[in-house]
């Protein structure tokens, strides 16, 4: 009897341990990404991301931009809660300019970056300024954006591009993968600020996403 009780107890412990370890495993999606871990810098910086954020440099730079949107589950209809978005871009000279004392990925991504976290309605808004293209490189103006879902590793989606940018060529438009949906937005002047909306669909055109 003791022998059987021992076997049952050992089996229970084994199953429990497996359950605990699997609960901490994050889905590996999105394919290779050299700098996606930058999304997690908010933890090191003791930042609590909210649904609305204003990036550094917003007050001092023109033209000012407001970007809104809603994050949806894969069905494209259900709002997605607790989704962390990480955004960053160049300064008005096309440089990823860090501050005087950069920490972690700011050394590479520059100081014009921020984090958002969606509520139950899946909505988000961020204020920033329109970045300049890279100097001496035929690259359109853009804002990088990465996603961190619960229990999923961070992954990138299509950057924001501006419909009015003359450097956004037909070839460049066709080369986009539409990860998370199209990143090409049309700016419209509202209350004195250039505004655009882009909704995101989790898993859309993301490799290994189930």
The model's pLDDT over 69-96, given as tens digits with 9 standing for 90+, comes to 999 999 999 999 999 999 999 999 999 9
Cα dist from 5 to 12, 13, 16, 69, 167, whole Å:
11, 12, 16, 57, 72
Residue 26 per-residue DSSP state: P
What value does the mean pLDDT take over residues 113-122?
A: 98
Q: Quick one: pLDDT at residue 18?
A: 40
pLDDT band at 23 (very low <50, low <70, confident <90, very high): low
- Count Cβ neighbours within 10 Å for each residue of 161-171 and write b for 16 or more, e otherwise: bbeebeebeee
d(CA 138, CA 157): 21
Instruction: Take residue 59 and report the two structure tokens written for it.
Output: 């007050």
pLDDT in tens, 176-196: 999 999 999 999 999 999 999
pLDDT at residue 209 above 90?
A: yes
Separation between Cα atoms, residue 49 and residue 114, nearest integer Å: 8
* pLDDT for the residue numbered 210: 85
Distance CA 93, CA 77 (A): 39
Tell me if 183 sits within 8 A of 168, measured CB to CB.
no
Q: How many residues does the chain have?
A: 210
How confident is the model over 144-151, as a mean pLDDT?
98
CA dist 182 and 179 (Å) reads 7
Ordered domains of the chain (ranges, CATH): 38-201 (2.60.130.10)
Which H or E run includes 13?
Answer: helix 2-23
**Sign of the Cα pseudo-torsion (57, 106, 81, 77, in order):** positive
- Single pTM value for the model: 0.88
> Is pLDDT above 80 for 11?
no
């Amino acid at each position: 009897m003791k022998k059987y009780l021992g076997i049952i107890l050992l089996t229970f412990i084994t199953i429990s341990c497996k359950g605990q370890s699997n609960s901490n495993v994050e889905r590996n999606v999105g394919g290779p990404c050299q700098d996606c871990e930058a999304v997690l810098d908010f933890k090191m910086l003791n930042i609590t991301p909210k649904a609305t954020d204003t990036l550094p440099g917003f007050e001092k730079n023109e033209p000012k931009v407001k970007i809104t949107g809603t994050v949806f589950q894969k069905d494209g209809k259900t709002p997605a809660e607790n989704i962390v978005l990480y955004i960053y871009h160049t300064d008005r000279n096309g440089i990823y300019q860090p501050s005087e004392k950069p920490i972690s990925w700011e050394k590479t991504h520059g100081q014009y970056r921020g984090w958002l976290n969606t509520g139950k309605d899946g909505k988000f808004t961020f204020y920033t300024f329109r970045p300049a293209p890279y100097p001496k490189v035929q690259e359109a103006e853009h804002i990088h954006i990465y996603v961190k879902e619960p229990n999923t590793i961070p992954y990138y989606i299509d950057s924001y591009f501006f419909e009015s940018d003359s450097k956004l060529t037909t070839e460049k438009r066709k080369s986009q993968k539409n990860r998370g949906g199209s990143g090409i937005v049309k700016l419209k002047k509202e209350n004195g600020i250039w505004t655009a909306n882009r909704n995101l669909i989790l898993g859309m055109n993301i490799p290994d996403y189930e």
